Amino acid sequence: MFKSILSKGRKLAGIGSIAAALVAAAPAVAQDKEPIVFGGSIPLSGVFAFAGVHLHAGLTDYTTWINSQGGINGHPVKYVMEDTGYEVDRSVAAFKKITGSNTVPVYYGDSTGFMKTIASELNSRGSTLMSGASFATALTDNEQYPNQFVPGPNYTQMFGIILEYIATQGKDGEKPTVAFVYSDTEFGKDPIENGKAKAAEMGIEVVEEIVTKPGSVDVSAEVLKMRRARPDFVVFHGYVLSPINEFMVQMRQMGLDTQFMGTFWSSDKLIINKMGEDADGYMGVMPYNYYDSAEGGPMLDALRATAEKSDPDAGYRPTGYMQGWFNAMVWTEVIKRTMDAGKELTAENMAESLASIKNWDTGGIIGIPVTAHDMSFPVGRIWRVNAKEGRYEPVSDWIHLD
């Protein structure tokens, strides 16, 4: 008994000394300055948990990294989050709880639904700038959502980038034809009308438009429609994996030489890992460099080093991780700009700082300097799956929409 207590005591003492050593070794973050809180409603469980765990890891690791760099203007950063299960009511409750017990200048919202729901409260408080998992076009409406931004191109802009790429792929002076396939959800429908308008403006014919139920669904009837429409490109939106695989496999079985493309949430390695060889040739628009891309840069290198240190066994970090990290990078930049201007950290001041971002070098996270437009960063690149190598490779230059 005594030995057991002694043993536990030694272990605790050991842990205590390690903790003390870590504190002593930590880079100089001014202890007298108030911490800046990054808040977050994070979907660690529920339907979006597949991405939520990585978003969370990205935010956590960025916080570790920024603190190792001395915090933001000497203020340490504290990341406070709650799991929401990807349910709007739980996200709202988490927001109220976190903002009720902390001063939270920036906050991560886990869904478009939550970000729309909380908008009026966010606007009336005027103290918090919000971004998150959503790239919804609506959130870049400055009139309605002045205190929210998206950490990349919105879905309409992603379609714009995809169509810009498609327009360059015509043969004999003819523009390729395209079909849109999207889920019957708010997420899925987001860019469709604008996408059709943009395609018409660019002279690209939309030969088929297919709506499916989200998730596990048989699409063999829809594939039959594709067989008749014979589009040169199919653009998917509103999915993560299924039914993209079924469209690709079945359309290829029919002998069609259609090329397949998708937006952010359907352009991760998941597609390669799950589809294997069948994923070859699939293309996605991505605003960030992939974790395992050949690209580099000081921030991208720091991200990789921090990720490696925080979980050496994790290996590749998904795009959700990059998104979480980039969100926190933008928050830092915005807070820093606001502080440097001698202004209070109000939502309005931070939104102004965000709008002032021009030709910002993200240190390799995005391959070219970026400029904020209407609370978004309308930049991206088309990447194609090389199934043999098991990764995405760039097939276009970086495209920055005006």
Partner 1 sequence: MDWLFFGEISLAGLAMGGLYALIGLGFVIIYKATRVINFAIGEIMMFAAYLFLAFAGGMEMSPWVALPLAVLGGSLLGGVIEKIMIRPMLGESSISVVMVTIGIASILVGVVEMIWGADPQLLPSFLPRKPVFIGEMYLAPKIAYGFLIGAALLIVYLLYFRFSRGGVALRATASDQAAAYSMGINVRRVFNLAWVFGSLAASLAGVLVAATGGLSPQFGAIGLSVLVVVIVGGLDSIVGALIAGVFIGWLETVAGAYLGGEYRMPATFAVLAVILVFRPYGLFGTHEIERV
Contacts with partner 1, residue ranges (CB under 8 A): 45-50, 52-53, 184, 210-213, 215-225, 227-228, 240-243, 245-246, 249-250, 253-254, 270, 274-275
Q: Which is nearer to partner 1, 72 or 81 (CB)?
A: 81
Q: Which is nearer to partner 1, 218 or 397 (CB)?
A: 218
Q: Which is nearer to partner 1, 102 or 242 (CB)?
A: 242
CA 162 – CA 329 distance, rounded (Å): 25
| Cβ neighbours of residue 14 closer than 8 Å, sequence gap 6 or more | none
**Spatial strand order in the sheet of 129-132:** 77-83, 36-42, 106-109, 129-132
Locate 177 and state its tokens: 């034809």
Q: 346 — alpha (psi -120 to 50), left (phi > 0) or beta?
A: beta
Q: What are phi and psi of 108, to 5 degrees?
A: -100, 120
Q: What are phi and psi of 305, to 5 degrees?
A: -65, -40
In the complex, the smallest distance separating the C-beta of residue 239 from partner 1, rounded to whole angstroms, is 9
Q: Which is nearer to partner 1, 47 or 207 (CB)?
A: 47
In the complex, the smallest distance separating the C-beta of residue 283 from partner 1, rounded to whole angstroms, is 19
Q: What are phi and psi of 135, to 5 degrees?
A: -115, 25
CA 62 – CA 79 distance, rounded (Å): 10
Q: What are phi and psi of 376, to 5 degrees?
A: -150, 170
Q: Which is nearer to partner 1, 150 or 270 (CB)?
A: 270
In the complex, the smallest distance separating the C-beta of residue 221 from partner 1, rounded to whole angstroms, is 5
Residue with tokens 């800046």: 36
Locate 111 and state its tokens: 């869904």
Q: How far, in Å, are 107, 293, 343 from residue 282 at the CA level?
A: 34, 16, 46
| Residue count (the chain) | 402
Q: Which is nearer to partner 1, 232 or 268 (CB)?
A: 268
In the complex, the smallest distance separating the C-beta of residue 266 from partner 1, rounded to whole angstroms, is 10
* DSSP-derived secondary structure letter, 193: H
Q: Which is nearer to partner 1, 203 or 215 (CB)?
A: 215
In the complex, the smallest distance separating the C-beta of residue 223 from partner 1, rounded to whole angstroms, is 7
End-to-end distance of the chain based on CA atoms, in angstroms? Answer: 72
CA 235 – CA 157 distance, rounded (Å): 14
* DSSP-derived secondary structure letter, 265: G
Q: Which is nearer to partner 1, 1 or 221 (CB)?
A: 221
